[in-house]
Amino acid sequence: MEKQDQLLMKKQNKALVLDIVKNQSPISRMEISKITGMSPTSISRIIGELHQQGFVKETELVTSGVGRKATLLDVCADVLYTIGVELDQSVLKIGIVNYVGKMIALRTFSRNVLETYEETLRSIQYNVNEMISQNMISTKKVIGIAVGLPGSVDYQNGVVRLSDQLKWKNITLAKDLSELTSFHVVIDNELKMKVIAENTVGKAKGAQNSILVGIGSGIGSAIILNGEVYRGESNNAGEIGHTVVDPNGNVCSCGKIGCLATYISEGALIADCRKVKEISTIDEVFSSFRKQETWALNILNRTLTYVALAISNLACLYNPEIIILSGNLIEKIPEVKQTIEEKCERYLWEPIKQNLQIVYSDLGDQGVVLGAAIHAQNTLHELN
């Protein structure tokens, strides 16, 4: 038992040192020793092991100031890679991310909404292999794939419980894709993947309590509490699209009446607009809004009211430092930001409003892919 404890401590110390080099490079051995409280001898031994394994390298930079000069350390960005995948109703996005979280390659593919599950798997396999080959990356350096998709996901067992957008139910996605690609595969809800990216490199970096709200084909949120993704009992925490806002309202695809999604989702918007004008796509709705057509202004104004109410409710429930807004609605018609802020000013409770930041994601179309790849590294990478 004592030997096992010693091995565990050594492993933890090694992971700590690597994390410091990764996040604070360029950095000297002496600085690491001061931060960790470990002896210079221990630090030199750990750095030697990490160098041998390809994780750490010496730079051409040296410490400044008086005394003996010391070479600074940096991480090797190309020591390993992870693949991030975003899967939605009509789009497949795949990205390759290196060890320091930089997107090496990102490609977007159209997905036929009538595509079978097997066809989707083969498309992911083919395009992942093609991108690895095109970027001349050894498959030995790729430690795994992570997929972010809409719906209810059992992330621990790799099962898609239900995805309305993909028309999937009780699908063993992680197992099936792993067998096809020979890579380790993890899956999760797309917004939970994206909030990991926001918390690591985006607008919520350094925040302990933050919420990402996604407004697009549906509406949902992902929550970071005390620095960790809050999942709830069945990984469905944040599914605000199915909170009831009007018990006498519209019928939702889930079978309930008055769900928030029936007032905010793109499908709901198009259905409302068709009562006035023959509309086929959400882009036509946005175009009519820009042309200041009265009916479009009225429908979008009601939508933005519900967005503000959702933000207010989330703020009261979780009292976060930051709420990040993202998705098609925000990205395609950024002029709605001012209206959202004005409505939030009206609906937010004063004691919460004072310490809350409402910001907008700037990760663009790579947020889910980047978050998935970071999640894959956090989940699958383990130091020897």
Question: Could you read off the pLDDT of 205-224 as tens digits, one per residue?
Answer: 989 999 999 998 778 999 99
Residue 181 pLDDT class (50, 70, 90 cuts): very high
Same-domain check for residues 71 and 86: no
pTM, entire model: 0.88
Mean pLDDT of 58-65: 76
For the domain that residue 258 is a member of, what is the CATH number?
3.30.420.40
Same-domain check for residues 238 and 162: no
What pLDDT does residue 384 have? Answer: 73
pLDDT for residue 1 is more than 60: no
Mean pLDDT of 57-78: 81
Judge whether 214 and 221 are in contact, CB under 8 Å. yes
What pLDDT does residue 63 have? Answer: 72
Question: Can you give the residue range of the structural domain that contains 169?
Answer: 81-195+367-380
Residue 3 pLDDT class (50, 70, 90 cuts): low
Same-domain check for residues 143 and 15: no
Secondary structure percentages of the chain, helix, strand, coil, to 5: 45, 25, 30
What pLDDT does residue 250 have? Answer: 87
Same-domain check for residues 191 and 211: no
Q: Where are the alpha helices (DSSP H) in 203-290?
A: 261-264, 266-273, 282-290
What pLDDT does residue 92 have? Answer: 96
What pLDDT does residue 2 have? Answer: 58
Same-domain check for residues 14 and 118: no
pLDDT for residue 67 is more than 90: no
Give per-residue pLDDT as tens, 135-173.
Answer: 999 999 999 999 999 989 999 999 999 998 899 999 999
Same-domain check for residues 141 and 276: no
Number of domains in the chain: 3
Last residue within a domain, chosen from 40, 75, 110: 75
> C-alpha angle with apex 134: 129 to 140, nearest 5 degrees?
55
Average pLDDT of the residues of the chain: 92
